[in-house]
Amino acid sequence: MQKEITNYQDKWPLAKVKITELILDIKNVRLDTEYESQDEIINDLFLNEEAMGILESIHQNGYFPDEPPVVVKENGKFVVLDGNRRVVSLKAMLSPNIAPSKYAAKIEKLMSGRKAIENIDVHVAKSRDEAMEYLAAKHTKTTRKAWSALRRAYFYYAQKENGQSVEKLIERYRGVDIPSYIKMYEMHNVALSLKGTSEEIKNKIANKRTFPISTLERFYSDKYIQEELGINFDKITGEATVPSGDDFDKVYSRVITDIVSGIATSRKELSKESDRKKYLDSIINEVLDKTKIEKKKTKPAFSFKRQKKAYREKNTLVSKKIENPFDCPGITRILWELQAIDYLKFPNATADLLRTFLEIIIKKYLEEIKSLPAPKRNGGYIYLDDVLKKIKSDLQTATNHKLVQVISEIEKNKWYLDSINHNPEVFAVDYRVKEAWDQIYPLVKYIFETYNKNKITDQA
């Protein structure tokens, strides 16, 4: 018996739906993440996913009927699984004020004297799971890819561009190192604006998935480099100012070209502080034929607005607002040290403490809820791997998919913390330690909050 080829056109009926009845998908596969609101998706689609270009194309050429959006009906609403950019463009044509402010006036002008499209045909999938098979086949064979660090930076900066202050973003996205992402966006944007790079290099810089941003981050995070090039970062917000003039452009262009071409990497020229100093000095001597770059700090070359308010610098990793819910002095002492230690000065000690902290709080939590795994052999120890697997299994049973993904990422990347313990050739650097804490924090938060709730319930 011959197996039929799937024909989605026959499988999923067409329905005519009002644009206003379509809901953008907060679990959008194309965008690789989950959003908190419709406004957040709309903002990101316009600022980072070229929705404005699609809107202008529809305005000029019309709306083509050859590929209707795919939707699924959930809780009585039509949720767009494929075609979010087209749908948001049509929505903005109907209501320009939903777009970010930098686009709203332009859309309103475009639509002056024009009647917006109010209804379109959509394919209605029978379920989200069924639609995932279609999307996986259509878009790269995977249903979800993790955002690159640079793509995350562009997402957070998009919220800033839409009027939110960096302080508000820090408050909103607790556990995320917003200032680091602000630095990353702005220094990448400087790279995009350089006059001394070729078109080929510019195209590689513009690719947010493949550009080696961690290498550039290692470069601009170095204090000697900041001082020599005249780069300044706001200590709280991370907002950047860089010198104007050809000297800076020439040096930074050469550095970016070396990074993109693989000549300068985090394992070679930019690995250690002494290597970075030697590398920069050689670039300055070669490119400018003089020993020091001219520092012009009077006028920033790019329009990154700095916050005028002065703040005290904080170099601690773990917030003092986090309190140990367990009756366990060992956890209390380690938490106190993590809240006090300067991770910029002592990244290796901080990394060591982080790994210990993660292991003992998971063990204590599992012990309290009577779910601690047995040692693999009599008289043996229970290791971090053991308790991570156990809590991940418990969360899978409870269908807590978000935290399961968090633990999967911890398992994937904990080699770094392990290596600092065991490999004399591996050492901690501050931004990697910060990334490790950001990755661990959602699990720490879950354990502490869940145990607190259970404790309150038991006492009641």
Integer distance in angstroms from the first to the last C-alpha of the chain? 64
3-state SS assignment for residue 241: strand
pLDDT value at position 187? 94
E strands in 208-332: 232-233, 240-241
DSSP for residue 345: T
Q: Supply the DSSP string of 10-33, one letter for each residue.
A: HHS-EEEEEGGGEEE-TT-TTTTS
3-state SS assignment for residue 316: strand
> What's the rounded Cα separation, in Å, for the pair 306 and 231?
13
- β-pairing, 70-74 vs 232-233, is unpaired
Residues 206, 254: contact at Cβ < 8 Å? no
- Can you read off the two tokens belonging to residue 174? 């607790």
Residues 41, 28: contact at Cβ < 8 Å? yes
72, burial (CB in 10 Å: exposed 0-12, middle 13-18, buried 19+): buried
For CA atoms 341, 344, 348, 353, the dihedral sign is: positive
pLDDT value at position 141? 41
> What's the rounded Cα separation, in Å, for the pair 70 and 79?
9
> What's the rounded Cα separation, in Å, for the pair 122 and 19?
10
Is the domain defined by 8-145 classed in CATH 3.40.50.10330? no
Residues 363, 372: contact at Cβ < 8 Å? yes
Residue type, 428: A
- Can you read off the two tokens belonging to residue 231? 């780069």
Residues 362, 388: contact at Cβ < 8 Å? yes
Residues 353, 337: contact at Cβ < 8 Å? yes
**Residue among 155, 126, 130 at smallest CA distance from 143:** 130
Residues 417, 351: contact at Cβ < 8 Å? yes
CB-side neighbour CA atoms (13 Å) of 447: 30
Contacts of 249 (CB under 8 A, 6+ apart): 194, 195, 196, 301
Residues 350, 338: contact at Cβ < 8 Å? yes
pTM attached to this predicted model:
0.44
> What's the rounded Cα separation, in Å, for the pair 296 and 246?
10
DSSP for residue 143: S
Residues 160, 150: contact at Cβ < 8 Å? no
Beta bridge partners of 82: 70
> 125: part of which helix (H) or strand (E)?
strand 119-125
Region at 140 (left for phi over 0; alpha for psi -120 to 50; beta for the rest): left
Domain boundaries, the chain: 8-145, 150-288, 329-459
**Residue among 222, 243, 210, 221 at smallest CA distance from 177:** 221
> What's the rounded Cα separation, in Å, for the pair 411 and 402?
14
CA angle 302, 303, 308 (to 5 degrees): 120
> What's the rounded Cα separation, in Å, for the pair 218 and 213?
9
Residues 191, 205: contact at Cβ < 8 Å? yes
pLDDT value at position 50? 84
436, burial (CB in 10 Å: exposed 0-12, middle 13-18, buried 19+): buried
97, burial (CB in 10 Å: exposed 0-12, middle 13-18, buried 19+): exposed
Residues 430, 218: contact at Cβ < 8 Å? no
Residues 19, 91: contact at Cβ < 8 Å? yes
- β-pairing, 240-241 vs 70-74, is unpaired
pLDDT (tens, 9 = 90+) of the chain, 460 residues, equals: 666 777 777 788 889 999 999 999 877 645 545 567 888 889 888 888 889 999 999 998 899 887 799 999 988 899 998 889 999 999 999 999 999 988 999 999 999 999 999 999 999 988 876 776 666 455 434 444 456 788 888 878 877 876 778 888 888 777 778 899 999 999 999 999 998 899 899 999 988 888 999 999 999 999 999 999 999 999 888 999 998 888 899 999 999 999 998 888 866 778 788 888 999 998 898 888 654 555 444 344 443 333 333 333 457 888 888 989 998 889 999 999 999 998 888 888 998 999 999 999 999 999 999 999 888 766 678 888 889 999 999 988 888 888 888 898 888 877 777 777 777 777 777 778 888 898 899 999 999 998 888 765 655 4
> What's the rounded Cα separation, in Å, for the pair 37 and 164?
15
